[in-house]
A and B are shown apart, each in its own frame.
Chain A
Amino acid sequence: MMDFQVVVLAGGTSKNLVPLVSQEVPKALLPVANRPVLSYVLELLELNNLKDLIVVVEGEDAALRVGGWISGAYVDRLHVEVAAVPEDVGTAGAIRAIAHHLTANDILVVSGDIVSDVPPGAVAAAHRRHGAVVTAMLCSTPVSGPLESGSSSGKDKTKKAGRYNLIGLDPTKQFLLYIATGAELEKDIRIQKSILRAAGQMEIRADLMDAHLYAFKRSVLLEVLDQKETFHSLRRDVLPYLVRSQLRSEVLLNGVPQPEENGNEKIGTQYNQIMQSQILANASKPSFHQLYALGPNNGPDLVRRTHKCCVYIANNNYCARLNSIQAFSDINRDVIGEARNLFGYSFSAQNNIIHPSAELGLKTTVGPYCMLGEGSQMGDKCSVKRSVIGRHCRIGSNVKVVNSVVMNHVTIGDGCSIQGSVICSNVQLQERVVLKDCQVGASFVVTAGSECKGEALAKKEK
């Protein structure tokens, strides 16, 4: 498969999503429009003819569940291998753990929580074309917050303001010169003079998001992970390290176009080899790395070692990561709303999806951009707007569901009003519950008549 191996990092139980995820539902299996979020990645890969995958899951229980689900859903379609790694080893640790299974020249590392239609092949091709050490996919930061409710979106904007990435690109927008994430951003940013001087110009952008889809050169990735034992995360440690050191490369492979690959050209003498690579090098337009490596005046004896860090910027594609509760509701809304054409759902004339086995009561309306799962029942005079309702839910009469996600097997009593909330599986809402911007954890029972606003309701951990 073009000498690429695909590793899907499906994570474990993320702390950011706490009332939603649990022992039973690891992050990878959170339903997005009634489908586990991992299925979006797997299907994107399948569409791109990548059928040999390694899925890495944190924690054995989670791995069992994810593996069980994949084996049920993708028999005969994908060749998936699941690896369990201990919790809290981070993305770098996860790669370390499966390092001995990686054999291809290049590794495509995909985060399991991406919902996107960006072709991974484009990243891989950009990676190959430049012979880069790492290629990262960037996409524009999605607009966050629900459309209607103004208060919560404003609050989230302020929360987000401190969290953006800063990304420095070269003038051709092909190379990554600087990357910093919100956590490590202080008042001022430090940019290396040598990189700036070599590239001439740097464009610093805050509107791009690192989509957690990387192509790595295997040898370099493993070498870095091997040498730097403290590295914990690919995004926060490995990528910035490679970007920082691109003009004083310490990794083995650099600009030289891999002479060791042509192992059996023994006929070609040393002279021929040199001439060939010289002709090739002279013919191509040098990137700033090569110009820097040659230096302005120094002779061929002093060659500086460089490597390339590339980016692929996805402009017109949908791309979002499920890494917060806000993102969870945003993605659920987008998948059946704005981005509905991208994921193969078929919509009715009213722009919604109602499973044929779902039962609706009298005078009940399901608005556009809604989804109603298999076997769900709704009473009379209900109204559903811009919401996803899962399978086998029982919803009473006079219930309003707006901008919310209701998972499977939820019982909602008469007269409830749910706005901007996420309600997990097996939850029971008794009569006249009013929820606004709440998250209700699995199997929780909300007593009749309670009103909540902006709370996370969950069972206490045993």
Chain B
Amino acid sequence: MDSRRTPRSVIDPKVRQVGFFAPPDRTNSGQPDPISSSSSSPSPPAANISPSGNSLSPVMIPPPRHSSDSRPVPFVPHPASPLRRESIPAGSSYNPSDFYPPATSPTAASPSSFACRMPVGGYGEFSEDVVALSPGRAFRGSSVRASASSSFPGGGFDLTALKASSVPASELTTVSVFNLPPGIAEKAGGAFVEMQNDRHVSSKAAKEKTTKAERRALQEAQRAAKAAAKAEGNKIPGTGSSAVTSVNVKPAKGVKAALQKNDSVSVAASEKKVADRPVEKDRKKDVPQPRMQYDDRSRVEKAKRRAVVYQTEARNRVELFRHLPQYEHGTQLPDLESKFFQLDPVHPAVYKVGLQYLSGNISGGNARCIAMLRAFQEAIKDYSTPPEKNLGRDLTAKLSSYVSFLIECRPLSISMGNAIRFLKGRIAKLPLTLSESEAKALLQSDISRFISEKIILADKVIVKHAVTKIRDGDVLLTYGSSSAVEMILLHAHELGKQFRVVIVDSRPKLEGQLLLRRLVGKGLNCTYAHINAVSYIMHEVSRVFLGASSVLCNGTVYSRVGTACVAMVAHAFRVPVLVCCEAYKFHERVQLDSICANELGDPDAISKVPGREDINSLKHLASSEKLQLLNLIYDATPSDYISMIITDYGMVPPTSVPVIVREYRREHLWI
């Protein structure tokens, strides 16, 4: 951590209230070294909050491997050596065959089995059929009219019954044709010409390049000579040695230093510079792009011009959240719907998912991620590389356009961002020797694998771990509706454990009701309460299970709004809080509050109660300038309130999240 940064206790108190922050006396847990602080200092909350009755003892369990599921839960600590990391992708220790029948295991699926699947378009056949019927189609322009009309009485309207139905099948007659794009029609001839053009261009470019390099060399030589003369004239001691080391000198140090740096690099280490450049580029890629700030007028205008979806921004926005996008609800969907056929570049499957995000038909991190990945799978299946383009680059560009479309429908969740990064990484790593169909098959199976290993199997492992923490007689509290928590509860019930569930819910989404419905349907004992009653109901609770949208590097849990409140109340009542989150949702970002990154929902959702005219007293105030409605979607729970995070690598204290992110990042990206 940067030493210059003010410690948390000095943060402006107004901001801290909104961000759900810990009182200043426990800020010492924000130290940089998570492992040593959790084992040596007594400050971590997990150690001191757990009452003696149900101590959870967040032992430092090193992340287990999937294959070790059959083994008992406590693991031998395993030093994370680079050797081991190497062995993971090789498939010796990380063996997914526990979960797959060997025949269909991903390693066994050789690309050749997909090679025979050729995309045969049904429509293609159809149109050929039509060509046979109407001779006019092959021509273009004015000749079409003549031939089409002349072919009319002769060829068309053959009413012979093709099908034995009550109505004779009728033939189609093409009466009007619009031009095919010239690129397709003239491809045969055009390719040769373009190739020649290419050669011309490339030779020209090469020529120009050499002159440029020459010019550059000349310039540098001149500059070096000048600098040398100057140095000699001024007689600055030690110019030669300092020139080499002053590469890192900041430009603020003065013109002279900059000059020295400049020529020292160019003269002494021009080769090194070439080697440095890709590194620099990589570094640039690593730095996350600055998030769009929606209170920056000019940028918003620019983004709007690019946007596919027409969005009207909401007028009354809460001051603190101006930087987040918020749109007039109900303006996006009709517009997007009416453009259905104009959005040609967006694949129908992606479009459908986007509509579902926008209308709220799909919500929840895992579901959104799965829906998106499946849509991408469909899109890849239907994808064909345009002529003279590279599959890797073109597909990446295409995916990016899909992603920006999805972002316009609803901001991405962190889990989706990770999944997209994974997919793009896979595309970038495709071997060049693969044919198009093989590459597509490989990508599709990669996506399937991501879904099954990172989401489905991860959930299975989480359930396995979490069930060990449920004992007979427990009262478990959960908030909202988390898919992982639901699976845990159902599995524990299947195992015959006797426990009771308290479902805490909140307006306006009332997701808990759906969970309640399913749990009661399965025969679990449930209590349903709203979040207002959480302080009352917490008396009887013995454990709190929470889901998460993401877990950030400082242990902050980013989740459905209200989670922080539940966690804090539980902490005050000394009830252990267990967060269930798949490791693919972990992110290396550090976030201290829920202001800088969040999502704003439809403000009308909190001001109106559908179907209850009697309590809709805000109805006439909606357009008032003085009223600002805030419907936050997420909040950030500081790690102090979390006893343990249950993830597919085991049960870890929140301070160990960076370890998982660091050690398994590579594996995350290249399964």
Contact = CB atoms under 8 A, between A and B. Distances in A.
Interface in B471-493: 481, 483, 486
B81 interface: no
Contacts of B449: 267
A97 B336 contact: no
A122 B166 contact: no
A94 B170 CA distance: 9
Contact of B367 (A70, A76, A84, A280): A280
Interface string B140-159: 01101100110011001101
Interface stretch (B101-109, B200-208, B214-222, B264-272): B101-109
B173 interface: yes
Contact of A128 (B157, B351, B368): B351
Contacts of A188: none
A280 B176 contact: no
Interface in A233-280: 261-262, 264-269, 271-272, 275-276, 279-280
A264 B443 CA distance: 12
B75 interface: no
B122 to A, nearest CB: 4
A147 interface: no
Interface stretch (A48-56, A346-354, A390-398): A48-56
A129 B361 contact: yes
Contact of A268 (B152, B334, B441, B448): B448
A453 interface: no
B178 A79 contact: yes
A97 B361 contact: no
A276 B381 contact: no
Contacts of B149: 68, 71-72
A77 interface: yes
B178 A78 contact: yes
Interface string A83-108: 11110010001101111110110000
B486 A129 contact: no
A203 interface: no
B114 to A, nearest CB: 7
A86 B176 contact: no
Contact of B444 (A80, A100, A264, A285): A264
Given A51-B178, A80-B176, A121-B338, A104 B123 contact: yes
A121 B367 contact: no
A128 B352 CA distance: 6
Interface stretch (A1-9, A149-157, A189-197, A365-373): A1-9
Contacts of A86: 159, 167-168
Given A128-B352, A264-B441, A283-B483, A71 B170 contact: no
Interface residues of B, number: 87
Contacts of B381: 264
A279 B486 CA distance: 10
B348 A128 contact: yes
A195 B173 CA distance: 44
A228 to B, nearest CB: 11
A146 interface: no
B355 interface: yes
Nearest to A275: B456
Interface string A37-65: 00000000000111100101000100110
B104 A267 contact: yes
Given A49-B344, A76-B141, A264-B114, A285 B171 contact: no
A85 B361 contact: no
Contact of B172 (A54, A275, A286): A54
Is chain B's binding surface mostly helix, strand, loop or mixed? helix
Given A79-B178, A261-B378, A280-B371, A68 B100 contact: no
Nearest to A64: B152
A229 B167 CA distance: 10
A81 interface: yes
A74 interface: yes
Is chain A's binding surface mostly helix, strand, loop or mixed? mixed
A124 interface: yes
A261 B178 CA distance: 31
B112 interface: no
A81 B175 contact: yes
Given A98-B172, A264-B381, A121 B342 contact: yes
A125 interface: yes
B172 A76 contact: no
A82 interface: yes
Given A64-B152, A121-B338, A268-B448, A100 B176 contact: no
A280 B370 contact: yes
Interface string A284-297: 11100000001001
Nearest to B481: A282
Contact of A279 (B104, B109, B367): B367
A67 B152 contact: yes
B364 A103 contact: no
A104 B367 CA distance: 27
Contact of A82 (B144, B169, B172): B172
Contact of B361 (A4, A103, A285): A285
B182 to A, nearest CB: 13
A3 B170 contact: no
A454 interface: no
Contacts of A206: none
A18 interface: no
B177 interface: yes
B126 interface: yes
B170 A98 contact: yes
Contact of B459 (A77, A93, A99, A275): A275
Contacts of A162: none
Given A84-B159, A264-B114, A267-B104, A96 B370 contact: no
Contacts of B17: none
B463 to A, nearest CB: 11
Which 6 residue pairs across A and B have the least CB separation, nearest first?
Answer: A121-B340, A283-B367, A125-B337, A119-B338, A81-B172, A283-B364
Interface of B: 99-101, 104, 106, 109, 114, 117, 122-123, 126, 130, 141-142, 144-145, 148-149, 152-153, 156-157, 159, 162-163, 165-179, 334, 336-342, 344, 348, 351-352, 355-356, 359-364, 366-368, 370-371, 374, 377-378, 381, 441, 444-445, 448-449, 451-452, 455-456, 459, 481, 483, 486, 514-515, 518, 521, 611
Given A96-B167, A129-B361, 10 more contacts: A4-B341, A49-B342, A77-B178, A83-B170, A98-B169, A104-B123, A128-B351, A264-B114, A272-B451, A285-B361
22 contacts: A2-B341, A49-B344, A67-B156, A70-B175, A76-B144, A81-B130, A83-B170, A98-B172, A101-B172, A119-B339, A122-B337, A171-B611, A267-B109, A269-B452, A276-B456, A279-B366, A280-B371, A282-B483, A282-B486, A282-B515, A285-B514, A297-B521
Interface of A: 1-4, 48-51, 54, 56, 60, 63-64, 67-68, 70-86, 89, 93-94, 96-101, 103-104, 119-122, 124-126, 128-129, 171, 229, 261-262, 264-269, 271-272, 275-276, 279-280, 282-286, 294, 297, 299, 312
